[in-house]
Structure 1
Amino acid sequence: MADQAQVKKMAYQIMISFDKNYRWFSRVTRGAKERFEKGQWQHVLAASKERITLYEQSLADAVAELYEQIMVHRNDADFWHQLKKAYAALIENHPQYELAETFYNSVIGKVFRHKSINNDVMFVLSSRCFLAGQDRHKVIHSFDTTTTVREMYESIFSCYRFKIDFEDRERDMQRLDKALRQRLSNSALASVAAVEMLKSVFYRGQAAYLIGRICMPTRTLPFVIALHTNDTHQLFVDALLTQRHDLSIIFGFARSYFMTDTQYPSELVAFLHELMPNKKVFELFIALGHYKHGKTAFYRNFLTHLAQSDDMFEVAPGIRGLVMMVFHLPSYGVVFKIIKDEFGESKKITREHVVDRYKLVKMSDRVGRMADTHEYVNFRLPLARVGSELLNELQETCASSIELTADELIIKHLYIERKMTPLNIFLQQETDPQKLQDAIDDLGTCIKQIALANIFPGDMLHKNFGITRNGRVIFYDYDEICLMHERHFRRLPVSDDPYALDTLSVAPNDVFPEQFEHFIVGKRPFKAMLKALHGDLMTPEYWQRTQQKVANGAIHNFTPYPRSRRFPRHHRED
């Protein structure tokens, strides 16, 4: 039998390590308010990076503190069973118990090098079912709706205070009042039973969001006030958003994580899920910066889906990549990406380089244009669900990354990413001329916004971009990306000699934008369209100017909702 005193001591140490991690996470998150008020946009990027890295640091510290006890009990199965029970008892009433379970899983994963996923010793399944609403009063403010619309807004802004002046408070109040009256009839306004707002302000980039809902007898509407600051650090209301579609885009998978301070993350996520029922719970945890727990929630959701479906894993549609082997389960909304053992001849890179590039994107501001990826080790799939064509291709291209047992395919290193339609397939299949033009236009915008976020996409073939259901173009192939200063953008040398490029001095970091028109998109009509809409992409001057902006420390804010939703700012409305 395991020594119960030792079991309880070790369980307590793990919980203390988690609490220390969450305090650190919360401290960085709480700083978002001051960074927003002072316009410290470079500090925003630094804080985002710090918060992503702190989990692994906390985990390493926790395992180091437990090392001697771990070595003594490593082969004692009963000890680990008892440890899980003791830990579950400790966190039973913990306000972040779900995140605490994930931290425990990470510790056990480190101990056993992720060789086994066993619910007897880990929280593969949660220790208890979360009851949404039991702590709802701790995460929301309710505002009186028996008064006028204007008075309700006054109550909201007396509750959410910032240490900066409004650019024009009266103007913003009038606009908010008018916008709500335009969207709800008098009878609808009269039927409003409550306005509930999350206590936590959501900070990201150069914006802050007050997020809540309008409750009526037969429906609820999102109620989101988007706040920005001007160049002199004055506050202004940029938009009032009342459509689920707009809220869903704000929480998109290609954006940086929110800074949102709360001691009740599961209750906050439950409220958001009611506003956005089409979002998975794991997506919402990830959006709040709890990406490690998001991975746990994803895996639980994935196991449930496997149990409720019978389709086969198969090679993902699209052109085969030179670096990644990509497959999917048709009924599920992600793709699985494995680094190949050998790359195509044109790829002069290493496996380590590819891993480093994916880390770079994780640490960067993805500005709504680069898909978030999640890294797993020893990910297990039921072998009976893996199609023979896929299995053969995996064995041919990724043999060092897979292992077969009697009933499982174990993938030693894997990236998981949101599923999109590859842009090249969309352009082949779409027949609506306007949708085609919109996609090409958004492709050019996507490339430009990534560059302004200090990332040169490198391989810009349209097959390396996807398009979402909302028609948004997203980049997802990272093996050739680099920071903007790492490339030298030049004009093509002019010579009468057709072989001149073979003899002229061309450095490894030289890039010739005039060549972009020949390979970003293939068909001539699409080339012409891209050149007409974004011809500056094909000039070195454009890229040099962008390099200079980035070098000067410019931080660009790309608003996630449409321009049409934004209030004008340069004149007072009547």
Structure 2
Amino acid sequence: MQELAASQDKNLVRKVAYQILSHFDKSYRWFTRITRGAQERFEKGNWKETQLASKERITIYEQSLSDAVAEIYQLTQVHQKDDAFWQQLKKVFALQLEGHPQFELAETFYNSVIGRLFKHRKIDNDMMFVLPSRCFLPGQDRDKVVNSFDTTTTVREMYESIFKIYRYNIPFENFERDLQHLEEALRARLDKAQLASVQAVEILKPTFFRGKAAYLIGRICMPDETLPFVIAMRRYNDPNMFVDALLTDRKDLSVIFGFARSYFMADTQNPAEVAAFLQELLPNKKHFELYMSMGHYKHGKTVFYRNFLQHLSESTDKFEAAPGIRGLVMMVFHLPSYGVVFKIIKDEFAESKKITRQHVKECYKLVKMSDRVGRMADTHEYVNFRFPLDRIEPELIEELKETCASSLEFTESELIIKHMYIERKMTPLNLYLQQETDEEKVTRALDELGLCIKQIAMANIFPGDMLHKNFGITRHGRVIFYDYDEICIMNERNFRALPKSDDPYAIDTLSVAPNDVFPEQFEHFIVGKRKFKDILKSLHGDLMTPEYWHEVQKKCARGDVQHFTPYRANRRFDRDE
């Protein structure tokens, strides 16, 4: 009888492992089908479909995960199986992944299944792939993801050979002009000796589509240095496309792959190799950020957690409350030596916040599903995330207990946070403005603040609480919004003019609905100091008028899709004949 039971268990293990991988493969085919359609959407200018496809692709994972978990519950009584069953399941699943081109993504999917079955209570490398099952060696499949171009020809001939391979079913507005621009730009970047020393030009096979732009991403290899080589192409609402820029600066490429932008559509069956190539181009980017930028945000979370564990083992500093003014909705803390912040929804909100915990979660989900246009930080949701108690400052533990007790669970050695978000660390804009003494940098930051608010609005989101403490500034000087608890769709607000009256108390007697907003009051609370207010008004005074917001609402109601170029304006080619 025992032998029969053991045999049945082995068969069940193989069946469950097979079903998990089958659901992953189905999910990736679905993901690929949507991603592959990006080129046709770009060619046809179907911008609304582009946005819908982005949202659909984000939802694929949860749907596939739910299907897999439901099937496992049909196959077996999950909670009657002992740890040995699940440990064996992991081993069998790992064997199935031999030679699988997306093995690392499949491991994450497996982790998600086990996490869902056990409500993320069994984060154990014996049962899950907390660590990867194998070491990936970059370059072993490089020929599957990279095209190499002959550099013994002229610069123009090289470009012509590139566009013989990367073809689109849409004419260029002026192909000769674009080739001339590209040649002049490369010759301006490299002198004759450098051009003569170029050993290789390599470009990733997938075109990277996002919004109304398409990018060919590669590199120029010389004996002493390697440069990014990015051809940025654009479409407006006319029937043609054009080359907008040649980017050879890592700063420009870093912004293109920024954490505040929507995920690329880049069709590949070898995501690990593509991510490794991008890592070589952008060594300062975390590996998890590159996976996320390609739309593999769930695997990005896995890679982040591995990176986090490694950083903990290599550092000694302690978690503490994040610098800046305490939020009314979120408790935020960080590890000073690490580049993210951890955000927990508080148990109780201030009286001024007429919202619920569920509302806050919905707001964060809305941002995830929206085009973040380079102005809203991407956030990643975690449950039952574990922190070593001996690495947490006592003051932080006390503050967490006071503000977020329902989200905390303590063991002898760990703090488990039941629900939280992680987000890229930035300098809060209010602290930056307090500390910065360079008037030019202050003016640039305030200009960025105004642009940030405007671009978010054009993406059909009203930021709500626009206090400058809710914005951060990156090392590249970009201002990014990161406080989402009061955001809403643009048509959910009624922008009104303040009444003209000699009575200083007239505003108090107005009939003010919950969705009424008075833009003329913005200047009193976005920034504090009079000097900052005056600068912001001089640069973006239209923000303080209801007419500006009415016009944005009209564009959003028409379904106009905006595009905001991620690289600097001086990088763009002149299109005038």
TM-score normalized by the length of structure 1: 0.99
Partner of 1:361: 367
- The Cα of 1:70 is off from its aligned counterpart by 4.2
Task: Give CA deviations for 1:164-219 in whole Å, capped at 9, x if unaligned.
Answer: 11100001011111110111011100111110010010000100000000011111
Which of 157, 180, 183 is equivalent to 1:177?
183
- Is 1:154 equivalent to 2:153 in the alignment? no
Instruction: Quote the Cα distance in structure 2 between the aligned partners of 1:554 and 1:151.
Output: 39
Which residue does 1:416 correspond to in 2?
422
Deviation (angstroms), 1:69: 2.9
- What's 1:556 paired with? 562
2:541 is matched with 535
Where 1:398 maps in the other structure, the secondary structure is: helix
Matching of residue 546 in structure 1 with residue 552 in structure 2: yes
* Structure 1 segment 300-449 matched on structure 2, within 5 A: 300-449=306-455
2:3 aligns to what? none
1:454 aligns with 2:460: yes
Alignment correspondent of 1:251: 257
8 Å CA contact 2:27, 2:64 repeated in 1? yes
Q: Which amino acid aligns with 2:537?
A: K
> Partner letter of residue 399 of structure 1?
A
Q: Which residue of 2 aligns with 1:57?
A: 63
User: Is the aligned partner of 1:111 residue 2:117?
Assistant: yes
In the other structure, the counterpart of 2:126 is 120
- 2:331 aligned counterpart, secondary structure: strand
> 1:286-297 residue pairs with structure 2 within 5 A?
286-297=292-303
Equivalent-residue separation in structure 2 for 1:168 and 1:448 (angstroms): 32
Deviations 1:54-101 (A, max 9, x none): 100010011111113342564411100000000000002100000000
Q: Could you list the runs of 5+ residues in structure 1 that have no partner in the other structure?
A: none
1:461-504: per-residue Cα shift (whole Å, max 9, x none)?
A: 00000000011000000000000000000001223333332322
Equivalent in 196, 199, 208 of residue 190 of structure 1: 196
User: In structure 2, what is the equivalent of residue 474 of structure 1?
Assistant: 480
CA change 1:114–1:74 in 2 (3 A) is farther
Question: Which amino acid in the other structure matches residue 392 of structure 1?
Answer: E
**Residue equivalent to 1:12:** 18
RMSD of aligned alpha carbons: 0.9
2:501 to 490, 495, 508: 495
* Alignment partner of 1:199 is 2:205: yes
Read off the aligned partner of 2:244 and give its amino acid letter. Answer: D
C-alpha distance in 2 between matches for 1:73 and 1:399: 29
Q: For residues 397 and 71 of structure 1, what CA distance do their matches in structure 2 show?
A: 39
1:46 aligned residue (39, 46, 52) = 52
Summarize the alignment of residues 47-86 of structure 1 with structure 2, pairs less than 5 Å apart: 47-72=53-78, 74-86=80-92
Shift of 1:366: 0.3
Task: Please give the alpha-carbon distance, in whole angstroms, between the structure 2 residues aligned to 1:279 and 1:82.
Answer: 36
Structure 1 residue 90 and structure 2 residue 99: aligned? Answer: no
In structure 2, how many angstroms separate the alpha carbons of the residues matched to 1:340 and 1:522? 26
Do residues 239 (structure 1) and 226 (structure 2) align? Answer: no
Distance of 1:148 and 1:18 partners within structure 2: 46
SS in 2 for 1:284: helix
1:511 alignment counterpart: 517
Q: CA deviation at 1:4?
A: 1.4
Q: Distance between the aligned counterparts of 2:78 and 2:112, measured in 1?
A: 19
User: Does structure 2 conserve the Cα–Cα contact (< 8 Å) formed by 1:282 and 1:295?
Assistant: yes
Q: Percent identity?
A: 72
Contact 1:230 1:236 in 2 (8 A): no
> Which string of whole-angstrom CA distances, capped at 9 and with x for unpartnered residues, describes residues 312-357 of structure 1?
0000000000000000000000000000000011100000000000
Query: What is the CA-CA distance between 1:29 and the residue it aligns to?
Result: 0.3
Greater mean alpha carbon deviation, residues 384-393 or residues 72-81? 72-81
CA distance in 1, matches of 2:184, 2:279: 28
Are the counterparts in 2 of residues 33 and 203 from structure 1 also a CA contact under 8 Å?
Answer: yes
CA distance in 1 between counterparts of 2:236 and 2:512 reads 44
Tell whether 2:168 aligns with 1:145: no
In 2: Cα distance, 1:365 partner to 1:378 partner:
28
CA distance in 1, matches of 2:393, 2:313: 17
CA contact (8 A) 2:41 2:47 kept: yes
What residue in structure 2 maps to residue 26 of structure 1?
Answer: 32
Code of the aligned partner of 1:389: E
CA contact (8 A) 2:257 2:290 kept: yes
Deviates more, 1:434-443 or 1:500-509: 500-509
Cα distance in structure 2, aligned partners of 1:321 and 1:381: 22
Aligned AA for 2:277?
A: F
Shift of 1:231: 2.6
Quick one: which amino acid aligns to residue 377 of structure 1? V
Q: Does 1:282 align with 2:288?
A: yes
> Residue 222 and residue 342 in structure 1: after superposition, are their counterparts in 2 closer, same or farther (change >3 A)?
same
Q: Is the 8 A contact 1:341 1:399 kept in 2?
A: yes
3-state SS of the aligned residue for 2:77?
A: helix
Deviations 1:98-127 (A, max 9, x none): 000000000000100111211100000000
Please give the alpha-carbon distance, in whole angstroms, between the structure 2 residues aligned to 1:27 and 1:196.
26
Determine if contact 2:212/2:236 at 8 Å carries over to the other structure: no
- The DSSP-based 3-state class of the residue aligned with 1:47 is helix
Which structure 2 segments of 5+ residues have no match?
1-5
Which residue is 1:102 aligned to? 108
Name 1:269's counterpart in structure 2. Answer: 275
Distance 2:195 2:175 in 1: 23
1 CA distance for matches of 2:535 and 2:76? 62
Cα deviation, 1:383-407, whole Å, max 9, x if unaligned, reads 0101011000000000000111100
Deviates further, 328-337 or 170-179: 170-179
Structure 2 Cα separation of the partners of residues 517 and 414 of structure 1 = 33
Report the Cα distance in structure 2 between the residues aligned to 1:70 and 1:533, rounded to whole angstroms: 64
Question: What is the number of equivalent residue pairs in this alignment?
Answer: 571
Mapped to 2, the partners of 1:47 and 1:233 lie a distance apart of: 21
Cα distance in 2 between the residues matched to 1:74 and 1:530: 63
CA–CA separation in structure 2 for the residues paired with 1:499 and 1:232? 52
